[in-house]
Structure 1
């Protein structure tokens, strides 16, 4: 289905329906009424506006298709057929005659109760889906699942994800980082509505600058995925879709407060301002302020924080062959932390070690597209953006200052060969980044620009004739070629294969190469407030550009993956089992080496092997009506070659993780319990640290578990209250900062954080929505 990512921009018969979460935001390729061109297209929702993934759309006595994760379907025309039906378990079947329809189609199925001793058959949306129909290995999270998280940033949206791991941050910068397939978030491509999201100097706090209540859905693509947005997703891609003005609430208010001294407010409003124009605005304000110091080392457990983010969106939707949207985002994030007062014994410098981080950003982006071709399967769209980011940070006596100016343009064209079984997409991308960056009087300024092109061919085959078992095969071949002014030409081939042996199972294979341009300092921000001196050198043939002293070569890797997904029915209720196996092999990688000596942080390019093996098995099942359970186990084996020390286990990377969630999803009352278990992990070697510096850390951190709960009460159609607790097991790491008693003239390090620093905490909030 060539245009599935694009159909959400078509006008709806009923404006109340939500946009599909897998919207390809910047591909404006929309179709005219498709019954004139040999196919029926539409969308299928339930009465709560959730797409009915897997619903059957079939000609009476003929072939058919199924509804995808966004609610879209495309039914090919058949000679002699003019009536089709749409059916879904637990919902009333509907039939339609093509000569009575008005396009585009938006179809609502209503739940059908069957009275058999007061037994009612219903279908529910669990908020998270791994579709059997998606060509690639993608897990989708919608706003229902997001409301199970405590609040309120995009980072916290992964609290209940078995795929993405969230680290616990550090007491000096407050930075939290994701891990995927056992590797740091640097190797996962983050996109905001299919374009690069807050990267470069903004990347350390990108997940904190997108408020969770603004999010309509998240798509987590594992392994080698689409090349349309770029090739820098070495382990996968996480795309975030924001709520769109044409289908967003007229007004929305979210208030949040917690016992850690944190408060947040989120506001949203959307309105139609013309026949074809919709205007939307969102605002976020938050603060964190406390004097928490649970281990009495005089350093704040987390920095105080002030954050403000605003977004204005203008959408044009019409039937005159072109549509578009334009957006402006502004953000400021200010953090202050460090020592609250000087130790009265042992510290030679009487001034406290203070942390001050100030990040400011302005960004504008848009999309324009044309869908007026004579052939409805042809479409063209354009994505464009410009941004300016400024940072002014102080870590004790070290200053880190920088500016980044970026421009981005992407053009995309979709078509097909003969029929929808053979689809093609082409595109060209241009990007320029200008960095002015200085740290501790060393200049890391540089200019980077990239120009590239990509193409993908998709072959699709389905066996869905009456009397035959359903089978399907999809093969996607892709190639991207980019020229980076400093790293040279990079080729990124990709292969994705999906086979459905039955209608309830899928096997996926993926393979591909990716590359990224590293940001030497911000990628390793947690090391900047330390006593170490940052040094770097080149191992291998790569050379440093004289005009770009901050550049240390591109990072490249191959990723291979296998996925098996099985849906099942047990006791009349649905369940799903997912098994993933991935391997990432690096050819060029920046190795961050803190174990050669205690005075320097060495950053150099890989000379030897570096790989990550990741295995995950997860399952979810509705064990009782309205009660769901999810279990997941993950094993990661990550190893790197260190200069002079050979192949070693990467530090701060647990080999074993487990997740268990239990949820009750009632109409008025909802409850969700989650338990995270983290296995032991290697810490950096402490052998060289002088004996007079107290080190409470073991060489391998202990395993531990954390418990959290979220409770929601739906007062009415507009208002709901929520409350909960985090870290109910009260697991904390004491003496996380090494050398806290003498941060200026001794060994000082706050990077070895493997457990939470905050004790158990409670939160409350309220959401008010005017649809």
Structure 2
């Protein structure tokens, strides 16, 4: 009897278990970030092979799941993995949503700049810094040039108090050592480096990738101090319509428009227009010169994406830029242009560009990239005329090939440069820099996966310059993934740069100094090493902390120096009889809290100096320390974001005219700080506003004047001694000549701004 009961009970339990296990349930939900559905997010059940992806509305679902407890993982590019637990108790559908707003991870973007291949940033053996459009919106600016002021180790340097032209410094190295790319094409360089960063429609920028240190083995000349690659949006991923318009209390108006359309079933077209207008002369420091250059600029950009078989790439893009800018005495108008009655600096820039990328219709991954641009400039600096023309054609064929643990890249490139101007840069000993320069080159790169944790990269490039001959630039890189949260990278390489001083040094064109070129200039060569360490930490509640630190060292041969000190009436250019060194340390810290508070803080210490005849001299206009920050806080119930951004710079040596010059030899510690409020409570619309330069800092603080001899810009009342030096007189007690190059920071006071942003997806 007892045996029968046991058998019956066992059979009953087995039957019930079969019923229970036969029951199925479902799990589904939505994945969003900041209220926006995320497409193509990978969602999986841990411990199983079951996986799916979210649809265009951010939805996912798992059907017919056996009852029980599970862990579900959501992962997407740009976000950290999020794991949630769920229990299915009966035949039901369980709602499980994921909000990734506080799980953004800037370390997982796809980058191309470091190795010319699309790889996740964490996988790249070359450290690449990535800044998205969202980062630059924390402090809206009318140009990429100004936007870079909040990037650690990168400083937009104004080179003239009057016309406000400038360049980009990376780790203390001046603008000519920085290569600017648009979608990987070197179309902003040489003559246009001063102006090419203005007029790129910010609304069309997907992200900006920055590599610090020489990259000549992949990109050739000018990629010595580093490179900045501006990646524009893919037409198929861009919103249907975007508009961003803001104005400041100074009277500046900036308009960015973007829209896309289809030109047939297989062609997506993206168009962007930027217009910037500033026509309000102000003179807050009362020197009778405009504090800020007046500008009228329009830029039109268009990008075509062609759909092809097997998802092969074919894109074409073009941009046209026209700018009219001037600064000078407050009573100046165009009737005085080039004359000696009223001083003004007037610059007309006319520029167009074409870029493209085409994947060849073969099984191998062969890509042809090409670009062409023309830049015409008509400038007047007082009575000094600078009329220049530049044309650059570029073509590059690359073969991306994998063989075992080798990830190979072969390439050949050809760069043609036509340059001519009306200055001594193209006459005399440097006349061979005029007209046509050819630069063919070949390169090879091998990324070897030694083990899952160790990668080694070796690259070599050979170029033949039609003026300077053979140029070799090797490089090596090593990446050690200690674990998924600790990565060490070591990079070393060489770089070279062929120089046109007048295209890059604004000081050579303004003021009363005489320009002299001592001997035939040789191309500069550099040797560089960079050690990079990345650490990231996560907490269970979604808090993220990351720190990235780098130590860098660059050694220069043949450095070309403009000597402003030996004779205050001259600028002498020559190759350095010695060497130069740029070395330092930088660190970036990123902290994201689950309460909506986010900190991004960076700092760089650098020592940039020349060594000649045993004497060390700090580079002019170069700070020892710089820092930047962006603090953001989102108040979800109010749909309000508060952004507090800023930077700080230590003293830098400034270009004085003589020992009697009463202006400061070194700048003070200075800082530009901004605050912004953004309201997103309207459908498709954001309204933002705030205050720039909260501390109301300008360079004239602590100085008797900024522009030397602003009352006599044509030096009509300057007298000279028998030896050619300036004579001190009652009218000229310090023995100075007119000079506007004493500049190291923006000259705009505190000001408010207000803008509106429309996005229709």
Interval of TM-score (by shorter of Structure 1 and Structure 2): 0.7 to 0.9
Distance (Å, rounded) in 2 between the aligned partners of 1:350 and 1:410: 48
Instruction: Return the offset for 1:611.
Output: 0.7
Deviation string, structure 1 residues 76-107 (Cα, Å, up to 9, x no partner): xxxxxxxx99654663689xxxxxxxxxxxxx
Counterpart of 2:604 in structure 1 is 634
Asked if residue 91 in structure 1 is aligned to residue 82 in structure 2, the reply is: yes
**Residue segments in structure 1 that go unaligned for 5+ positions in a row:** 1-43, 65-83, 95-108, 114-120, 343-348, 464-471, 539-543, 545-551
Deviation string, structure 1 residues 699-733 (Cα, Å, up to 9, x no partner): 12211222211221113341111112111101112
Change in Cα spacing, 1:499 to 1:225, as seen in structure 2 (3 Å) is farther
Counterpart of 1:525 in structure 2 is 506
Instruction: Identify the match of residue 448 of structure 1 among 437, 442, 445.
Output: 437
Instruction: Return the offset for 1:312.
Output: 2.1
Deviation string, structure 1 residues 219-271 (Cα, Å, up to 9, x no partner): 11122448443353112221111122111111111111112221111111111
What secondary structure, in the 3-state scheme, does the structure 1 residue paired with 2:682 have? Answer: coil
Asked if residue 680 in structure 1 is aligned to residue 662 in structure 2, the reply is: no
Distance (Å, rounded) in 2 between the aligned partners of 1:406 and 1:512: 26
Counterpart of 2:255 in structure 1 is 265
Instruction: Identify the match of residue 193 of structure 2 among 161, 184, 203.
Output: 203
Instruction: Identify the match of residue 686 of structure 2 among 711, 720, 725.
Output: 720
Change in Cα spacing, 1:755 to 1:321, as seen in structure 2 (3 Å) is closer
Instruction: Identify the match of residue 236 of structure 1 among 204, 212, 226.
Output: 226
Asked if residue 434 in structure 1 is aligned to residue 414 in structure 2, the reply is: no
What secondary structure, in the 3-state scheme, does the structure 2 residue paired with 1:451 have? Answer: strand
Change in Cα spacing, 1:630 to 1:252, as seen in structure 2 (3 Å) is closer
**Residue segments in structure 2 that go unaligned for 5+ positions in a row:** 1-30, 52-70, 86-94, 110-120, 333-338, 719-736
Distance (Å, rounded) in 1 between the aligned partners of 2:286 and 2:627: 31
What secondary structure, in the 3-state scheme, does the structure 2 residue paired with 1:158 have? Answer: helix
Maintained 8 Å contact 2:360/2:368: no
Q: Give the structure-2-normalised TM-score.
A: 0.80
Distance (Å, rounded) in 2 between the aligned partners of 1:51 and 1:500: 29
Asked if residue 490 in structure 1 is aligned to residue 449 in structure 2, the reply is: no
Asked if residue 422 in structure 1 is aligned to residue 413 in structure 2, the reply is: no
Asked if residue 664 in structure 1 is aligned to residue 648 in structure 2, the reply is: no
Distance (Å, rounded) in 1 between the aligned partners of 2:286 and 2:417: 43
Asked if residue 589 in structure 1 is aligned to residue 580 in structure 2, the reply is: no
Distance (Å, rounded) in 1 between the aligned partners of 2:251 and 2:424: 33
Instruction: Identify the match of residue 112 of structure 1 among 98, 101, 116.
Output: 98
Counterpart of 2:545 in structure 1 is 575
Instruction: Return the offset for 1:519.
Output: 2.1
Instruction: Return the offset for 1:273.
Output: 2.3
- Structure with bigger helix share is 2
Change in Cα spacing, 1:624 to 1:281, as seen in structure 2 (3 Å) is closer
Counterpart of 1:156 in structure 2 is 146
What secondary structure, in the 3-state scheme, does the structure 2 residue paired with 1:751 have? Answer: coil
Counterpart of 1:178 in structure 2 is 168
Instruction: Identify the match of residue 294 of structure 2 among 288, 304, 311.
Output: 304
Maintained 8 Å contact 2:167/2:174: yes
Distance (Å, rounded) in 1 between the aligned partners of 2:189 and 2:214: 20
Distance (Å, rounded) in 2 between the aligned partners of 1:57 and 1:437: 62
Counterpart of 1:479 in structure 2 is 460
Distance (Å, rounded) in 2 between the aligned partners of 1:122 and 1:362: 40
Alignment of 1:616-765 (within 5 A): 616-623=586-593, 625-641=595-611, 646-667=615-636, 668-688=639-659, 695-734=661-700, 735-745=705-715, 746=718, 747-765=737-755
Change in Cα spacing, 1:570 to 1:246, as seen in structure 2 (3 Å) is closer
What secondary structure, in the 3-state scheme, does the structure 1 residue paired with 2:505 have? Answer: helix
Change in Cα spacing, 1:164 to 1:405, as seen in structure 2 (3 Å) is same
Change in Cα spacing, 1:623 to 1:61, as seen in structure 2 (3 Å) is closer
Q: Identify which range, 316-325 or 153-162, moves more after superposition.
A: 316-325
Alignment of 1:126-145 (within 5 A): 131-145=121-135
Distance (Å, rounded) in 2 between the aligned partners of 1:126 and 1:770: 25
Deviation string, structure 1 residues 172-196 (Cα, Å, up to 9, x no partner): 2212322111111221221111110
Change in Cα spacing, 1:204 to 1:371, as seen in structure 2 (3 Å) is same
Deviation string, structure 1 residues 130-180 (Cα, Å, up to 9, x no partner): 843332111111121121122231113223211312235532221232211
Maintained 8 Å contact 1:132/1:505: no
Instruction: Return the offset for 1:288.
Output: 1.1
Distance (Å, rounded) in 2 between the aligned partners of 1:674 and 1:303: 24
Maintained 8 Å contact 1:136/1:225: no
Deviation string, structure 1 residues 416-468 (Cα, Å, up to 9, x no partner): 113xx3111000000111112113897463321100000000012554xxxxx
Change in Cα spacing, 1:52 to 1:585, as seen in structure 2 (3 Å) is farther
Maintained 8 Å contact 1:425/1:456: yes
Distance (Å, rounded) in 2 between the aligned partners of 1:85 and 1:483: 56
Distance (Å, rounded) in 1 between the aligned partners of 2:288 and 2:655: 24
| Count of residue pairs the alignment pairs up | 649
Counterpart of 1:460 in structure 2 is 449
What secondary structure, in the 3-state scheme, does the structure 2 residue paired with 1:240 have? Answer: strand
Instruction: Return the offset for 1:321.
Output: 6.4
Change in Cα spacing, 1:755 to 1:566, as seen in structure 2 (3 Å) is same
Alignment of 1:260-339 (within 5 A): 260-320=250-310, 322-339=312-329
Change in Cα spacing, 1:335 to 1:612, as seen in structure 2 (3 Å) is same
- Highest relative contact order (Cα 8 Å, sep 6+), 1 or 2? 1
Distance (Å, rounded) in 1 between the aligned partners of 2:504 and 2:158: 16
Asked if residue 361 in structure 1 is aligned to residue 351 in structure 2, the reply is: yes
Maintained 8 Å contact 2:164/2:293: yes
* RMSD of aligned alpha carbons: 3.0
Asked if residue 385 in structure 1 is aligned to residue 355 in structure 2, the reply is: no
Change in Cα spacing, 1:286 to 1:110, as seen in structure 2 (3 Å) is farther
Instruction: Return the offset for 1:553.
Output: 2.7
Asked if residue 397 in structure 1 is aligned to residue 383 in structure 2, the reply is: yes
Maintained 8 Å contact 1:153/1:210: yes
What secondary structure, in the 3-state scheme, does the structure 1 residue paired with 2:191 have? Answer: helix
Change in Cα spacing, 1:50 to 1:754, as seen in structure 2 (3 Å) is farther
Change in Cα spacing, 1:601 to 1:56, as seen in structure 2 (3 Å) is farther
Maintained 8 Å contact 1:413/1:427: yes
Maintained 8 Å contact 1:149/1:156: no
Maintained 8 Å contact 1:224/1:510: no
What secondary structure, in the 3-state scheme, does the structure 1 residue paired with 2:504 have? Answer: helix
What secondary structure, in the 3-state scheme, does the structure 2 residue paired with 1:210 have? Answer: coil
Q: Give the structure-1-normalised TM-score.
A: 0.79
Instruction: Return the offset for 1:48.
Output: 4.3
Distance (Å, rounded) in 2 between the aligned partners of 1:214 and 1:399: 35
Instruction: Return the offset for 1:58.
Output: 11
Distance (Å, rounded) in 1 between the aligned partners of 2:491 and 2:415: 27
Instruction: Return the offset for 1:319.
Output: 2.3
Maintained 8 Å contact 1:452/1:483: yes
Counterpart of 1:601 in structure 2 is 571
